[in-house]
Structure formats: C-alpha cells, structure tokens
Amino acid sequence: MFKVSNKNLICAVLAIVIFLLACFSVPALRQPVLNTLKYPFSLFTFLRREVSALIFFHHNFTQNELLRKEIYFLKNKLNSQKEFELENARLKNILSLKQKSGFKLVAARVIARSSQAWSSNVIIDKGRYNGVRNGMVAINYFGLAGRIVDVTETTSTVLLINDPNLAVSGVIQRSRQEGLVCGAMGTNLIMKYLPEDSDVKIQDTVITSGLNENYPKGLVIGTVIEVGRDYSGLSRYALIKPAVNLSNIEELLIIVK
C-alpha cells in the first residue's frame, strides 16, 4: 500500500506555504488566490458552526433529560412526604379521640368502597376477631360515619349515614329540637319530621339524640345548610351537610360495646 512518509508530508506543506506566500507577494495574483481559497474556508467555517451547534444541542438535550428525571424524582419524594404527614395527622386525631371519647374504640382502615349505585358503604380491615359486631357505630375524628351491617372474621361492612337504608334520631344542639336524620344517596342528609314551629336555623349543629340505643348521645352528625317545608306542608325538614367527608374516608373508629 502506498505510504506517505513524514518527511514527504512536511515538504508538501512547506511547498504549499511557499507558493501561497509567493502569490500574496504579487498583487496581480493575490485576489485570484483569495477568491479560490474563499470557498474551502467558507465550507470549513460552515461545517465548524454546524458541528458546534449539534454538540451544543446534544449537550442541552442530555442536561434537560437529567433535569426532567430529577424533577420527577423530587415530585414523587415530596408527594410521599406529604402523604406521610397527612396520614400522621389523621392517626394523631384518632389517638386523641380514643383518649378523650370515653368509648372503647377499635381503629380500622378502609380497604374497599361500594360499587353499587343504590348503596353507600365501605369495607374495613377489622372483623369478629377484633371484637367488631353487627350494629356497632363507626365514627372518625369529625363525627358519625355509619353503622356496621355485616361482619366476617377479619373484615366488616360499614353502611354510611348517607345511605337511604340508614336513619338515626338527631337533635339540633342549640334548640334541642328532635328529628329523624336519613340518608339520601347524595352528599347531604335530610332531617325529617320537624314541627312547623321548630327552631331550626342554618349553621345549626345536629348531634345524635341518644334515643336509639345503637347510637351514643352527642355524636356530631353535621351542620344545617337549608331549611324548608315537606311536600305535605305539615312539617319542616333540614338539609344537613355531614361532619364526616363520606367520599374520602380512609380510617374509622368502631365503638365496641
């Protein structure tokens, strides 16, 4: 194979340099030589600029990918930390309620929710093995949540207070006016059978009356948000917003009797 020695290469370079110097020393040859060299130098400049831009783009793309991954990791870390803080706050509330309520309570986690359109219930991770029985009342830090309607060895079904099949005797805390609080399969409850002259106002707090032996007296049911007359016109009703966020229950306390 033909091979160029270092000596020959050096001689060729020197010859080119001498030729160019000679051309530049002659004014008549200077411009033609410059015109001839302009295109190779322009091409070299263009290629150098494009290569530099490509390198810069690749560097920025790599940096952006690294930043995106770091942001994703930090967001997940912050979300996990926030979830831990919220759960810790809920557990502290549960512990506080267990200490202050005077009831014997069993703490439980919600593990499933009803998928039926005509029923509002949740399933908890405590059952007969933990002392849970049918008819026991479920609460959380904010108030009454529902009642146990089915029990297995390790799980239980809680019928929530907004289910139409659940009713509890309630009383307006301020005026002591009594009525029957029923579920309506919505986000709110209805307090029925209030006398025409009953003293009920918006923002009144409704609590359990204690007349039904299944529900201890004084549990917060919710707050009155609307007052009106029923269809017969002979009695009034109160629309109640539950104290417990029934669509977002994660932990419950069962009052064990």
Distance CA 249, CA 114 (A): 12
In eight-state DSSP terms, residue 242 is: E
% of residues, the chain, pLDDT over 70: 68
The sign of the CA dihedral 249, 253, 255, 256 is positive
Q: Which residues of the chain have pLDDT under 70?
A: 1-9, 11-44, 46-47, 73-101, 115, 117-118
- pLDDT confidence of residue 136: 95
- pLDDT confidence of residue 36: 63
Q: In what helix (H) or strand (E) does residue 98 lie, and over which residues does it extend?
A: helix 27-100
Largest CA distance in the chain: 120
- pLDDT confidence of residue 230: 84
Tell me the residue ranges of DSSP E strands in the chain: 105-113, 121-124, 137-140, 143-151, 156-160, 167-172, 178-183, 189-194, 205-208, 220-229, 236-242, 251-255
Distance CA 243, CA 254 (A): 17
Distance CA 1, CA 40 (A): 29
- Distances, alpha carbon 215 to alpha carbons 115, 130, 162, in Å: 27, 20, 16
Q: List, for residues 14-54, the tens digit of each pLDDT value.
A: 666 565 555 555 555 555 655 565 556 666 676 677 777 77
Mean pLDDT of the chain: 80
pTM check: above 0.85 = no
Q: List, for residues 196-231, the tens digit of each pLDDT value.
A: 889 999 999 999 998 877 898 889 999 999 999 888
Rg of the chain over all Cα atoms, to the nearest angstrom: 40
Say which amino acid occupies 149: V
